[in-house]
Amino acid sequence: MPRTFRKVLVANRGEIAIRVMRTLREMGIGSVAVYSEADRAALHVRMADEAYPIGPAPASESYLVVDRIVATAKAAGCDAIHPGYGFLSENPALPEACERAGVVFIGPPARAMRALGSKTAARDKMSAAGVPIVPGARCETTDEAVAAAKKIGFPVMLKAASGGGGKGMRLVANADEMAHAWERARSEAKKFFGDDTVYLEKAIIRPRHVEIQVLGDQEGNLVHVFERDCSIQRRNQKVVEETPSPAASRDLVARMGAIAVQGAKSVGYFSAGTFEFLLADDGNFYFLEMNTRLQVEHPVTELVTGTDLVREMVRVAQGEKLAFEQGDLTSRGAAIECRVYAEDPVNFLPSPGVIEHLVVPSGPGVRDDGGAYPGCTISSYYDPLISKLSVWAADRPRAIERMRRALSEYVVTGIRTNLAFHEKLFVHPEFVAGNYDTGFIERNRDALLDYPKVKAERRDAVAVAVAVAASKMERAPGSSAAPGAADDKARLSPWVAQHRAGRR
């Protein structure tokens, strides 16, 4: 029998915690936040109905401690736990601990997580279910890896069997490179995932990274919610996502969607999940992995379908059926998401620190999923994501125009951000034409990452001018100045100002 949740603990932080809390509030469900010592003043703590400390700043001592998360949920009287993404979202130990404690896990069953958690095991499962996979092999030694690579054909990609995010991955062009790449991949896999198992796959040259959103209930009803193109990546990590994919026809998406649903059913999957595929330039597609959670880029799917994926996750966890069938789902218009990071736009290195001024875009078709505010600290302990800026428009050209406008309105001072990178990307002719793949950023480094050299003291002076001008505008009583009438430097990040100066 379906039940109704009264209170849900969100086992996460930042923008995704806030995103989940907003849907809970719309559903009339109380929200409970957890926070580390570093996040005591974080926005998700302020947004929640209740908030509880769970340990020191390192995630391994707070957000990743399963027993502490579940104990907090029990003590707060929560009916369920939503994991968001990252942290414990794909760790089957959390849903198992929830079941023992009598708390509902808002996500897929632990058995499905275990079946798909290891990439090598997932490949086997999906191959048996009829899902196309990239030719590959599991090897114990470098000699075995070289022999397998020669049989498959170079180049090959070494990948960590556990984890993701581009860690433990190495492209190997020939046999001479194997030994070094093998050791580096194993070392990185051990460091980040505690498992040094790696495997190899045939490298698909210049692929698109296209994923299919799936959604299912506990009665076996499963649908796909179309595709997202996530090919704009740096260091194998996504930066920009859009739907529909400029490279996939509606017939191709329907075939990919049917395959994804077939694969999900083979492991008894329910809740939200994502099948990731590599799309070759010949139109063939190959299973990459399945993420057994809500994706970072889910807003673009929500914008084109009008579907609240978090609401559906909660409804399914309450024992309700999906609110729609496959034939009820349609995709309208185009949506694009930019991940706004606190990082240097030249080398993508994190830029933690205190945000002095923050103004997010708004207006028609603009959505900003953020977790920051003026005066907050972007911590070095966690992912430096500030927000996800998404736009919707009737078609892709207008969505690009809208994103350019939205980026021009975004103001962040006090730290470096990748806003300048996004501005360059959205005027690059090949991106505008939809001609890109996973190696696009690396091939276009000069166009996307080449910024005028500005001395540190000049950059700091611009930052001070921005802060002072903004403060004057805020304090001026009855100011008649129109928005945007101030000097350009008074509203732009010094890094965006620097970039624009270089374009003139």
Residues identified as active-site: 293
Instruction: Please give the Cα distance from 139 to 160 (Å, whole number).
Output: 12
CA dihedral 262, 229, 361, 304 (to 10 degrees): -50
Instruction: Please give the Cα distance from 87 to 13 (Å, whole number).
Output: 9
| DSSP 8-state assignment for residue 374 | T
Tokens representing 164 are 């993701």
DSSP string, 65-103: -HHHHHHHHHHTT-SEEE--SSTTTT-THHHHHHHHHT-
Sign for the CA dihedral angle at 396, 282, 222, 313 comes to negative
End-to-end CA distance of the chain: 64
Counting other chains too, the contacts that 458-463 makes at CB distance below 8 Å and 24 or more residues apart are 459/494, 459/495, 459/498, 462/489, 462/494, 462/497, 462/498, 463/356, 463/413, 463/414, 463/494
E strand or H helix that includes residue 186: helix 178-193
Please, is 237 exposed, middle or buried when counting C-beta atoms within 10 Å of its C-beta (0-12, 13-18, 19+)? middle
Instruction: Please give the Cα distance from 408 to 342 (Å, whole number).
Output: 17
Q: Which of 360, 357, 305 is nearest to 335 (CA)?
A: 305
DSSP string, 310-330: HHHHHHHHTTPPPS--GGG--
Please, is 346 exposed, middle or buried when counting C-beta atoms within 10 Å of its C-beta (0-12, 13-18, 19+)? middle
Pairing of strands 156-160, 198-202: antiparallel
